[in-house]
Structure 1
Amino acid sequence: MEHNVDNLKREREKQMQIPAMEEIFGPSGKLAEYFPTFEYRKQQVDLAEEVRCTLLNGEGEILAAEAPPGVGKTFALLVPAMISAAAGGKKILFLTAGIPLQEQLIEKDLPALNRLLGLSLPFGLLKGKGNYACLLKAGESGETADGREGYLSFGDGGAASRKIAEWLSSTKTGDLSEVSLPPDSPAVLRIAASSRACLGAACPFRDRCFVRKSLRDAQEWSVIVANYHLFFSYLLGAGKPFPVQAEILICDEAHRIPEAARSSMAQSVSADEFARLLRSRAVQDGAALIETGATAGKTSALAGEVRLEAARFFELLEIKCPANKASFTSRNEELWHQQAVVREKTDELLRLFSFLEDSQDELDPEHSRISVWMDELKRTADVLTWCTETSGYPSWAYWKEGRSLSSAPASPLEELSECFRSFSPETAVFVSATLAPGGKWGYWTGETGVAPTRFFISDSPFSLDEQMEIVVVDTGLEVMDPCYDRTVCAVMEKLVEANGGSTLILVSSLRLLRKTAEILRNRKRAYTILVQGELPRTELLRAFREDRSSVLVGSASFREGVDIPGEGLTQVIIDRIPFPHPADPLVQARNDLFGGRSFSRITLPEAKMLLKQAAGRLIRSREDRGRVVILDGRVLSRKDWNIPGALPAVKYRRLVVPRQNVSKSVAQVRTV
């Protein structure tokens, strides 16, 4: 009896730590007091309450939640989590896929919520090594503020190097985003930190290292914001623990988890990578250590042989697989033989430096540099062996792309499941606008290996049936039909013209993207045509937002992160159901791995999820109005696919386009 009383007492104490969410999100709650333009949304209260209950239920609780645009999910996730963290001295790790959301969290949401809730939780953004300057690399490049000579010129007379040197003399963080140069500037890339080139404890700049400082700072934060790529690069890519432990894990944009995990586990090797390593300064430094008299030149000669044999391998690869992207499902014996030659020569070269393994001077920078180089060369040779042997197929896909060989897991659910178990937060929340296509969780849980203890699906806070319609245009053409591009472009041109611009066009291939842009620009129009790739993404979106009549033509990456409320976006055109290309190496591996179940288990649910993401660009507020147009008759004709079940429950219009009279038929869209 006494035991039960103690349990009830502890339960009441826990309940007091996190108040009912109506007190904060309700019509008379704290948010309404704090924000003059606050709009009460029941769906936001419901989601926040689900997060609250998950936190209160204790260790081992996992919530999977789907919340469509407009719910206000970021605040709904953070409010109960921050209150819980403050009450219990816990840490929150907030993972996301996109940079815009990370910036919003750091610059707006977290400061506002600290003030609103009367908290002072420290927070920060943890980035990967490549986002920070490496003082050792900067010094080797002559890009320090200590000396004004030796600046490298990148076609600018050394201006970029001098700008970096001036910045390095004053920066406190070493964050390369502070430098007023493009992220892909050769000068910036030259000094970016890298795991593969890091000397670790032997680095003479270790005490001043910006990466180490960022990790030390993160230990003091109560809310750590990071992206999936960084998270998985530790746990899956390097097989190491994440550098900051947290009791509460929040994964926003959780539909991106399988893709991010696959990217972190992917392996690639190229002739250029071998050439870079075998021309490295470490080869010369190693030669100086081991060569005397009769052995002079042996190291560089052997390095040259490895480089030559690696070049022969990739020349043979081009002969055997001239296609740009070709899949391997079994070992090619000629390639395997040439790989063995590269491997033998590489091992012979590495044996010359084996004395370093017994070296007692682990902190000697010169020895450490050579050891790092040895590890990278061995890893490169290992990847070449793995990609050529293809022993992991079909669990792993293998393919040649350009002058590279690559491999990635077809379905990383086992690795992902173990990854989250090893991180072992007390509580985890996974949320996205698209986790359960058609209300079914099987696809997402099957791809991630996550086993939620709670599920939640929110409806939209908007009256979608009044605010939007979906128009399905049936062209009657297969994608491979010679008339497909011309017909689809003509349909899109008429739709854009009828709408007076204010349109987001989402196409499934770069080929069609270029063709669409060409057609739309073939005559003077009253609106601007913005095209993916012609400007950085942020600049394109800014221009699209500011010019209300403009048209933005994009591909897959623009299915997400486009938030244009109001009259600036009243039409979204999607060229087809976003099924992957059947020749894609990952698709082939999945088909062989899962057999006849692959389409229903992975391909169809994934296409529904992507289509729902794309359609979600249209309605972002209660005032928005417009239509989503999908140029794929299978949306309605393939009833067994149940595509409408994954899309908003709104009015559908169907238009059939006769192949011989596209212009006349498309004009009917306004009246059908």
Structure 2
Amino acid sequence: MPPVPALVASPRAAVLVHPDGEVEEDTPAALGRRAAGLRPLVCHAPATAARLGRDALAGHDLLELFAFVRPARFVLPTVGGLAGAVGLEAPHGLTAQALALPRIAAVLLHALTRLVRQEQADARTLAFAMARGGWAWGPPVLAALGAHGDGPHGTTIARAFRVWERLPEISEHAPEAAPGHLPVTGAEARARLADLLGAAAEDRPQQADYASAAAAAFAPRERRDAPHVVLAEAGTGVGKTLGYIAPASLWAEKNDGPVWIATYTRNLQRQLDGELDRLYPDPREKARRVVIRKGRENYLCLLNLEEAVSRLPTQPAAAIPLGLMARWAMATRDGDLVGGDFPGWLVDILGRGWSLGLADRRGECIFAACPHYNRCYIERTVRRAKRARLVVANHALVLVQAALGGLEDGALPTRYVFDEGHHLFDAADGAFSAHLSGQETADLRRWLLGAEDGSRSRARGLKTRAEDLIGEDPRAAEALVEVLHGARVLPGPGWHARLAGETARGPTERFLALVRQQVLARARGQDGPYSLEAGVAPPLPELVEAAQALETALHDLERPVARLMKALARRLDDEAASLDPTTRQRIEGLIRSLERRALLPVRAWRSMCRALETETPPGYVDWLGIERAYGRDMDVGLHRHWVDPMVPFAETVAGRAHGVLVTSATLRDGSGDPEADWQAAERRTGAVHLPDHIRAAVPSPFDYPAQTRVLVVTDVRKDDMDRVAAAYRELVLASGGGALGLFTAIGRLRAVHQRIADALDAADLPLFAQHVDGIDPATLVEMFRTEENACLLGTDALRDGVDIPGRALRLIVFDRVPWPRPDILHKARRKAFGGRAYDEMVTRLRLKQAFGRLVRRADDHGAFVLLDPMMPSRLGGAFPDGVALERVGLAEAVAAVRAQG
């Protein structure tokens, strides 16, 4: 064990336990100063440093050791979480936690001695390199691994980091045949559900009714462009996940084809992954039948990893993060960096550049030209998905792929389940929008020209990717040269500074500079930290002229891109008999990339430029915006969205499918008019744009009037953050924790957190907060779930898709009515969808979703408190029948929460 003290801290106090047993307790700031330079044992160094009031803390972080010893294994980033993971009793109190840290470290170090021979050799080699790079755990890890001497030479070390060489190659398979068209009856769905639940399961007639209704989406299509669409609302507690898995899995088996199940949140993806263990209890069979499918930006790119490893000779300290990444890469199930088996807290410790930054985040994939193509995590997942029965994806991937004409092979699934269907409108809004912005255009320039800033990035541009594929065709070579020349009209490195300094160069930067000028001339709230926007009309005269010049320049880029694509397609045709499979794959991939990455966005940008001279086409809304984050300008541009994004959803996704199930616990509005509530669901899911659909609603089995109370506090001013924070504090103390605090703005969350942290710490109630703790939301939710008396503060991401049954969640406090933000896009939709009624529908659905977090089991009880005296009674339809709004003062609300226990 390293002879260093152990350090833990809370908002009010900190404890330092020295190796000789001496215990020091003081304020976090004081102990933070004393611990500087001691390299103490800690759990989650960034979070510990924040509690100590320091920017950083050099220490022996046990999470780093855990990631090395047990890669691709999740653990809660707390002392209690680590203790439980290694089989020790969870410590209580700061002193007990500090005393537990060396015991946890000892268990982890001992585990290294039990590694199999080859893994132990690889771990030893990596540890040597990491120790030379300054890794604090290097010496004790090497001692545990029985290392002696000066360590291996450079070639051996390099081989340990080259994990791609030890990954298995992807097996090729013949193309899959089209699926059959056999139906799934309601009776069959009920029988499959019974098998999934087992003989000992409780009788749940609502779940069986739901499964039977969902089966209608798996009937054979009778007419082209007329899919079977089922809108199914299943109240909380019905068990809709297994309810739709039953008919979906049965259809996939009967017809030997895939069903794509799309969710909006990663939390539900993880839940689905777990539920599918019932269907496929054998992990090997499940791996064949079920695939979790995400966009390329979620997976570790082996070429990016190789490029990072190549810098080790000149950056020895990089061996620390790369060693941990190498350990994970050899243990991961599928290379998923976001929501898979990659611990979210490791991003906090390594930094985004050494973790998420190793994914393909700029569309730079070179597909078959990559030397790691046949070992690539992404390609492996793509190919497995073609043979899977159930593909679990997210809304964004499904919609973007459909908008671009299909999946990687151009095909489209025929059967979809869209869970969390209340988010389908928002997902479509993002997928079918266009942005003529600095970031988007600069990214395209980088994709075409490669890195121009002198960095050693592997992004060497289109020339490197295409020049050996165009063959001897002079027309293709000429088109490539013109594409590279045309790309220079897009913003180059340093465009941010030039726009701010009014030294724009080139047609795109000049256009963006004038966009910025118009926004700053007309937008409200310019002194605040939030993003700004302004209408397009009437545009500055100079902006119209700049748009005309930019449209011409983009046209000069579009033409050679199209010619290059035709030339590549011509080679596929001309040399069909002689092209080797790899070259054919590369050409097909490049054509697809040129269309998706260059041709389609450039055409959209040209249309947007032309509209500045005339007017925005019907069905769209345009606006100008400056995107800000943390008070800094991050992007500027012209934006275009559909007023109703379910129009393209119906045309490109649902209309081409054979069957679509859209399901949620909150599909319908709660206006009080049943027909109007269903019509709202039909608009939000796109069913109104399809020939026919089936409505189904299965009520929750819970007794909400007996299990819940909804309290509207009438004597707290929502704009006085001192009063709002005091209300949160007293309500949480009254409940004894188990509280989820929801906020409509990050600034309000941070203000409340700052004011209540000490009081909750004094009451021994753990406090976690999104946008404060620097920990990803999924991990925060897991921490909250395991601490029965904790409090979690969050925004939209925690309002949906969070499933926390039992006493861990017994109180929800919402800071104010979550009215939609009155921006330009919302104004256009409000006008199109019913004015005030549209505002109220959106707000009721948000309240409905938030309330739905409260009761997840039949024995759950809890209170939903809204700190907004202006809450209109007509929004009460957000809550279940029989649950009345109780308007009370804060003291009465505190008493009610305390009484419920």
Q: How many residues align?
A: 622
- Map 1:614-633; keep pairs closer than 5 Å: 614-633=850-869
Q: Which residue, 490, 497, 500 being the options, matches 2:726?
A: 490
Of the three residues 52, 77, 82, the one matched with 2:249 is: 82
Q: Give the TM-score normalised by the residue count of structure 1.
A: 0.79
Whether 2:818 is the aligned partner of 1:649: answer no
Q: Does 1:561 align with 2:794?
A: no
Q: Which has the higher contact order (CA 8 A, sep 6+)?
A: 1
- Asked whether the equivalents of residues 262 and 395 of structure 2 are also in contact (C-alpha less than 8 Å), the reply is yes
- The answer (yes or no) to whether the contact 2:406–2:412 under 8 Å persists in 1 is no
More off after superposition, 64-73 vs 194-203: 194-203
For 2:848, give the aligned amino acid.
K
Q: How does 1:273-292 map to 2 (within 5 A)?
A: 273-275=440-442, 278=445, 280-281=449-450
1:591 alignment counterpart? 830
Q: Structure 2: how far apart are the matches of 1:370 and 1:122?
A: 31
Structure 1 position 536, deviation (Å): 1.3
Change (3 A) 1:39 1:305: closer
1:101 alignment partner in structure 2: 268
Structure 1 residues 137 and 459: alpha-carbon distance in aligned structure 2, compared to 1, 3 A threshold: same
2:553 is aligned with 1:314? no
Matched, 1:219 2:444: no
CA contact (8 A) 2:738 2:790 kept: yes
| Matching residue within 599, 603, 612 for 2:839 | 603
Question: What is the CA-CA distance between 1:384 and the residue it aligns to?
Answer: 5.1
Query: Pairwise mapping of residues 404-443 of structure 1 onto structure 2 (< 5 A)?
Result: 404-405=636-637, 406-425=639-658, 427-438=659-670, 439=674, 440-443=677-680
Amino acid aligned to 2:258: K
Q: Give the partner amino acid of 1:629.
A: V
The letter of the residue matching 2:686 is: G
What 5-or-longer segments of structure 1 have no aligned partner? Answer: 1-12, 144-148, 291-295, 658-662
- Structure 2 spans left out of the alignment, 5+ residues: 1-181, 453-459, 468-473, 475-480, 493-504, 521-525, 573-582, 628-634
- The Cα shift of 1:261 comes to 0.9
The answer on 1:42 being equivalent to 2:281 is no
Structure 1 residue 401 corresponds to structure 2 residue 626: yes
Give the percent of matched residue pairs that are identical in Structure 1 and Structure 2: 24
| Partner of residue 146, structure 1 | none
Structure 1 position 529 matched with structure 2 position 767: yes
Deviation at 1:456, TM superposition (A): 1.6
Please give the alpha-carbon distance, in whole angstroms, between the structure 2 residues aligned to 1:17 and 1:588: 43
Q: Which amino acid aligns with 1:530?
A: F
The answer as to whether partners of 2:189 and 2:250 remain within 8 angstroms in 1 is no
| CA positional deviation for 1:653 | 5.3
d(CA) in 2 for partners of 1:247, 1:375: 22
Asked if 1 retains the 8 angstrom alpha-carbon contact of 2:186 and 2:213, the reply is: no
| Deviation of the 1:506 alpha carbon | 1.1
Corresponding residue for 1:444? 681
Asked if structure 1 preserves the Cα contact closer than 8 Å seen for 2:619 and 2:644, the reply is no
Alignment of 1:104-253 (within 5 A): 104-106=271-273, 108-114=274-280, 122-138=289-305, 141=307, 143=309, 149-151=310-312, 156-161=317-322, 164=325, 173-176=334-337, 182=347, 185-193=352-360, 196-199=363-366, 206-236=373-403, 238-240=404-406, 245-253=412-420
- Cα distance in 1 for partners of 2:391, 2:375 equals 22
Alignment of 1:258-297 (within 5 A): 258-275=425-442, 278=445, 280-281=449-450
Kindly indicate whether residue 750 of structure 2 is the aligned counterpart of residue 514 of structure 1: yes
Task: State the Cα distance separating 1:56 from its structure 2 match.
Answer: 5.8
**Equivalent of 1:327 in 534, 538, 545:** 534
**Match of 1:65, SS?**
strand
How far apart in 1 are the matches of 2:462 and 2:686?
46
Mapped contact 1:471–1:629 kept (Cα < 8 A): yes
Q: Give the whole-Å Cα distance in 2 for the aligned partners of 1:432 and 1:305.
A: 43
Q: Please show how residues 468-479 of structure 1 align to structure 2 within 5 Å.
A: 468-475=708-715
Aligned partner of residue 321 in structure 1, secondary structure: helix
Q: CA deviation at 1:102?
A: 1.8
Shift of 1:627: 1.1
- Asked if structure 1 preserves the Cα contact closer than 8 Å seen for 2:183 and 2:220, the reply is no
Q: Give the CA deviation at 1:654.
A: 2.9
Going from structure 1 to structure 2, the CA distance change for 1:408 and 1:70 (only over 3 Å counts) comes to same
CA distance in 1, matches of 2:412, 2:557: 40
Structure 1 window deviating more from structure 2 (406-415 vs 540-549): it is 406-415
Q: 1:39 to 1:370 in 2, by over 3 A?
A: closer
1:521 alignment partner, SS class: helix
Contact 1:462 1:622 in 2 (8 A): yes
Residues 489 and 553 in structure 2, CA contact (< 8 A), matched pair in contact too: no
Name the CA shift for 1:45/1:326 in 2 (closer, same or farther; >3 Å). Answer: same
Q: Answer yes or no: is the 8 Å Cα contact 2:486–2:556 preserved in 1.
A: no
Cα offset, 1:281, TM superposition: 3.1
CA deviation string 1:60-99 (max 9, x = no partner) = 4322111122111111111233234323434322111122
Whether the aligned pair in 2 keeps the contact of 1:397 and 1:410 (CA below 8 Å) is no
Separation in structure 2 between the aligned mates of residue 49 and residue 463 of structure 1, nearest angstrom: 24
Counterpart contact for 1:285–1:366, Cα < 8 Å: no
Give the CA deviation at 1:590. 1.5
Give the Å deviation of 1:629. Answer: 1.2
1:336 alignment partner in structure 2: 544
Q: Is the 8 A contact 1:92 1:247 kept in 2?
A: yes
Deviations 1:249-293, CA, capped at 9 Å, x for gaps: 222111111111111122234435555555643888789999xxx
Deviations 1:134-171 (A, max 9, x none): 455555x254xxxxx44498894344445556776897
TM norm structure 2: 0.61
In the alignment, does 2:725 pair up with 1:500?
no
**Pairwise CA distance, 1:385:** 4.7
Q: Per the alignment, do residues 285 and 52 of structure 1 end up closer, same or farther by CA in structure 2, a change over 3 Å counting?
A: closer
Residue identity matched to 1:318: R
How far 1:321 moved relative to its partner?
Answer: 1.6
| Distance (whole Å) between structure 2 residues aligned to residue 563 and residue 355 of structure 1 | 52
The Cα offsets for residues 571-607 of structure 1, whole Å up to 9 and x where unpaired, read as 111223321122x23212223445xx2332x322121
Partner of 2:190: 21
Cα distance, 1:315–1:433 mapped onto 2, change above 3 Å: same
Counterpart amino acid of 1:598? G
Contact 1:17 1:83 in 2 (8 A): no
CA distance in 2, matches of 1:408, 1:522: 45
Contact map agreement 1:91 1:248 (CA 8 A) in 2? yes
> Which of 488, 493, 504 is matched with 1:303 structurally?
488
Instruction: Provide closer, same or farther for how the CA distance between residues 516 and 154 of structure 1 changes in structure 2, counting only shifts above 3 A.
Output: farther
Moved more, 53-62 or 332-341: 53-62
- Structure 1 residues 562 and 16 mapped into 2: Cα distance closer, same or farther (>3 Å)? closer
- Taking the aligned partners of 1:622 and 1:495, their CA distance within structure 2 comes to 24
